[in-house]
Structure 1
Amino acid sequence: MKGIIFAFLGGACITLQGVANARISQDIGTWQAAAITQLTGFILALCILVFVRDGSLAQLKSVKPLYLLGGGFGALIIFSEVTAIQQIGVTFTISALLIAQLFLTFVIDINGWFGMAKQKMKVPQFIGIGMMVAGVIIMKF
């Protein structure tokens, strides 16, 4: 249950962040908005780290270098999301974003990328993705 609550919280924050960034970027530019978002995210995460003190930064050297690029993806996410929101609106952007996320998670699970256990996808999972795509198309038109 806790995982579902955090998933909904994360989804809500992605949407709020996208809308806020779209508004910021209208005033100062998209890459500037991405930089400010990354900076404020870093500051908040650092503050939480100071209080929570879980994990160990000493183990950073054991992390594969590829995985350290995750923060860089954040800048590309922000740029893409802001640009899409400005061009196609919030609802369609978030819908397309969710479909893209779900599709890529299927590919990751099927192939066992990033050290994840391989998963077999069955017909119901593919029907679910198809229904999501159909839903977005229906919403758009």
Structure 2
Amino acid sequence: MKGSLFACLGGALITLQGVANTRISEDIGTWQAATITQLTGFIVALMLMMLVRDKQWKRFKRVKPLYLSAGSFAALIIFTNVTSIQSIGVTLTIAVVLIAQLGLTFLIDSNGWFGVVKQKMGLPQFIGIGMMIAGVLILSL
């Protein structure tokens, strides 16, 4: 239950961030919006880390260098979301983003990439993805 609540909150926050970034980019530019978002995100994460003080930071060297680059994706995520929202709107952008996420996670899970436990994918999963794609097509009409 806790995971689902956090997922709902995360989804709502991603949508709000996309809309806010689009409004910022209309005034000062997309890369400027990405810079402001990254900077404010860093400041908030740093403050929260300082408040928690769980000493996990000491294990930093155990993280593979490849995974340390994950934060750099955020700038590209912001750029692509802002550009998409400006072009096709918030609803369709989020719908397509969700399908792209689901498609990639489907591949990651079914192949066991990045060290995740391999998951068996069957007809119900394919039907679910198909229904989501059909939903996006209906939204785009």
Interval containing the TM-score (normalised by the shorter chain): over 0.9
Equivalent-residue separation in structure 2 for 1:127 and 1:53 (angstroms): 44
In structure 1, the residue corresponding to 2:10 is in which secondary structure? helix
CA distance in 2, matches of 1:69, 1:55: 22
Matched residue type, 1:97: V
Does residue 110 of structure 1 match 2:103?
no
For the structure 1 residues 131 and 55, does the alpha-carbon distance in structure 2 shift closer, same or farther, using more than 3 Å as the test?
A: farther
CA distance in 1, matches of 2:94, 2:115: 28
Residue number in structure 2 paired with 1:122: 122
Tell me the equivalent position of 1:67: 67
Task: Quote the residue 1:15 is aligned against.
Answer: 15
Corresponding residue of 1:34 = 34
1:135 aligned partner: 135
Q: What code does the residue aligned with 1:76 have?
A: L
Segments of structure 1 that go 5 or more residues without pairing to the other structure are none
Question: 1:128 deviation in Å?
Answer: 0.3
Equivalences, count = 141
Alignment match, 2:90: 90
- Residue 49 of structure 1 is matched in structure 2 by 49
TM-score computed with the length of structure 2 as normaliser: 0.98
Deviations 1:66-88 (A, max 9, x none): 10011001111000000000000
Q: Which secondary structure state, in structure 1, belongs to the residue aligned with residue 20 of structure 2? A: helix
Amino acid at match of 1:108: I
1:55 deviates by 4.8
Amino acid across the alignment from 1:14: I
Aligned-partner residue type, residue 29 of structure 1: G
Distance 1:7 1:54 in 2: 23
Deviates more, 1:13-22 or 1:112-121: 112-121
Q: In 1, Cα distance between the equivalents of 2:114 and 2:73?
A: 15
Q: % of aligned pairs identical?
A: 69
Greater displacement, 25-34 / 48-57: 48-57
Provide the rounded CA distance (Å) in 2 between the counterparts of 1:123 and 1:33: 41
For structure 2, list consecutive stretches of 5 or more residues without a partner in the other structure.
none
